[in-house]
Every structure is written in C-alpha cells, then in structure tokens.
Amino acid sequence: MSGYLAVLVVVLIFVVIFQIAKASEYVSILKGEKKTRQQANRVNGSLLIGFLVLGLIGVYYCNDALKGKIVMEAASEQGKGIDDMIKTTLIITGIVFVITQILLFWFAFKYQEKEGRQAFYFPHNNKLELIWTVIPAIALTILVAFGLRHWFRITSDAPKDAMVVEITGKQFNWLIRYPGKDGQLGRKDFKNINDANNPVGQDWEDQLNKDDYMATEMHLVVNKPVKLIIGSRDVIHDVGLSHFRLKMDAVPGIPTTLWFTPTKTTAEMKNITGNPDFVYEISCDQMCGAGHYSMKANIVVETQAEYDAWAAKQVAQFAVAHPAPAAPAATPAPAADSAHQEKVVAVNEAKH
C-alpha cells in the first residue's frame, strides 16, 4: 500500500510542477517574453550571488570544522612530504577556485540582460589566450615536478641498512616473505608454487631460501627504512598503504619496489587515534576480482626489541615444506611365555 502512495505522491508533484510551468508560460505571454526574461534574469542573478556567498562560507566552515579529522597525519617520513605536496596543490588550486568562482557568479549578476545593453562578441584574442595557456601550464609543471620528486624518492635505491620484505598479491590475500639471518631473499620460480607448502614458489636448491620465512602480517621496525619487493601471482593488484601515503602496483612477472620509513608504532597510533583496536592496513587499491573487497592484511610497527622477539619465533618455510620424519616408535620387548614363567616359579618353590 505504501508503494502505491509513494507513486501517487510523485505523480501529483509532477502534475503540480507541470501546471506551474504552464502558468508561468501564460504569464510570460501576457507580460511579454522579453520583459519576463529580464525579470527572470534579475531573480537568477540575485540567487547566484546568494549562492556564492553561502557557498564560500560553507567551504570555509567545513574546512575549519573537519581540519585534521578526516585524514590523520602521515605515519612515515616520505608520507609527510607527500602530505606537504597535497597541501601545496590544494592551496594553489584553492586560490584559483575562489577567484574563478567569484568572477563566474559576479559576471552572471553584473552582466545580465538589460535595456540598452548589447553584448560585445570577439572571436579571437591572442593576449587572453596566451595568459590562460601559459599561467596554468607553469602552475601544473611545478605541481608535476613536486610529484616526480617524491616518486623518484620512494622508488630509488633504499638505504643499505633497510629491512627487506617481499609482498606478493594473489586472489584474494597477500603473501609476505622475510629473509632470514642472512638478510637476503632466496630465488623463486612460479613453476614451484604450491599452496600447501610453497605459496611463492621458492627454489629449495638455493641456500638463501633455507632461512626465509612467511608471515600472515607485516612486522616493521619504527624509524628504520624498509624496502618492499612487490609482485603478483595472478592479476594486477596494488599495495595500498594509506597511513604511510604510499601505493604501488603488484604486476605479474614484473617486480616493483618502494621504500619508506615508518615513524609511529602501532601502540603510539592507538593512543593518537584513541582507538584501542587500531591497526595499520595493507589494502588492494586495484580492482582484482569478486573478492577484491576482502584483500587486506595488517602491519605491525614496533620497536627493534619487539621485532627481534617476534622474528625469533618464526619458522623457516623450508622447514614447513620439509618436515623432519617422525622418529620410529620403540619396539616393545616380546612378552615372556606365561607357561614357562609358571614352570620356573614352581621349580623355585619346590627347592624351598
């Protein structure tokens, strides 16, 4: 019943709007089309000025009320630079936005149709075209240069003391591999992939693989650079690190890299956000299939001592794939013949 009422209300609203439009058309005929149009222009011009003032007030109010609440401070050194770049971009584009909107709405009000006013039409103006081409080009070139500087920074060679972590995307989860005490990841081959015990295809003939271990979450040391070696087992994924302001495509057959330095531990972020359940998250920022929404993993940023304690508990993937054979059970001594035992007991008793 409620559905029929909703349809009826919509139809009635449409009829009312239609009748108002027809009435306005009749009024314009009676008053004269030109006079009606000029009156409508005056009303629309006033409304545009009102909308401009209220809109600018609303933009300022929203910016002031939500400042620092929507996006928290970046949790990496590189992320702070990217945040600064975004602020610079917003300042430049914000100034342009305010100027152009004021001019747009003011011109619509000031140069509305009036008696005795005639529009001036010119098809070409070299000076004007030069201004609106060169100035935006210079501004955009500066912004692009800022972006390239940060891009080259995070994709350059990582510091020599950086941690190394490999992260591989597959539908629909992340496979995280760490080098062992030797600090080097072993060779791998997609032909060796086995979901049961070799999910990234490690080559067990490579000695460097003997101490590499896998993890379900990424553990990083605060204030220590980390280099991520990124790949994919199937389709294109994307390692999204929103809290660190970083992302990088995971492409099948083409390893990609980036490095960054986390600056806040998970425990510190829990205090900063007031959320005891806070976790850093790895998301997939590239649509990769039906289960894309569930492709997440956690990052734990901790002190060096906490990381060392966690790493000491990890089991090398080689040991997982090659479990030691179980020791053979001890063979129980054969039981003595009961009749023989009874005979020995009887002889001993007869002697006594």
Residue 211 vs residues 40, 137, 178, 180, 322: alpha-carbon distances, Å: 79, 53, 9, 5, 12
The pLDDT of residue 334: 55
Query: Residue 10: what pLDDT?
Result: 83
**Any idea which residue has 């790493």 for tokens?**
311
For residue 316, pLDDT beyond 60: yes
SS3 284: strand
Sign of the CA dihedral running 185, 187, 191, 192: negative
Give the model confidence (pLDDT) of 244-280 as tens digits.
Answer: 999 999 999 999 999 999 999 999 999 988 899 999 9
pLDDT in the model for residue 125: 86
pLDDT mean across residues, the chain: 86
- Say if residue 98's pLDDT is above 60: yes
Q: What is the pLDDT of residue 344?
A: 46
Query: What percentage of the chain reaches a pLDDT higher than 90?
Result: 53
* Residue predicted with more confidence, 339 or 157: 157
Q: What value does the mean pLDDT take over residues 238-244?
A: 95
What strands, in cross-sheet order, belong to the sheet with 218-221? 218-221, 296-302, 280-284, 237-241, 246-250
Name, in order, each residue with C-beta under 8 angstroms of 222's C-beta and a sequence gap of 6 or more.
262, 263, 264, 265, 301, 302, 303
Question: What element of type H or E holds 238?
Answer: strand 237-241
Write out pLDDT tens, residues 185-220.
Answer: 999 999 999 988 999 999 999 999 999 999 999 999
Closest to 223 (Cα-Cα) out of 279, 302, 312, 309 = 302
pTM (global) more than 0.75: no
Task: Provide the pLDDT for residue 247.
Answer: 94
What integer is the mean pLDDT of 8-19? 82
**pLDDT given for residue 323 in this prediction:** 86
Confidence band, pLDDT 50/70/90 cuts, at residue 332: low
Q: According to the model, what pLDDT value does residue 184 have?
A: 92
List Cβ neighbours of 216 (8 Å cut-off, separation of 6 or more).
176, 297
User: What are 28-86's pLDDT values in tens digits?
Assistant: 665 556 677 777 788 888 888 999 999 889 988 888 888 767 678 899 999 999 999 99
The domains found in the chain, sorted by start residue, are 33-114+125-155 (no CATH), 163-321 (2.60.40.420)
Residue 349 has pLDDT above 70, yes or no: no
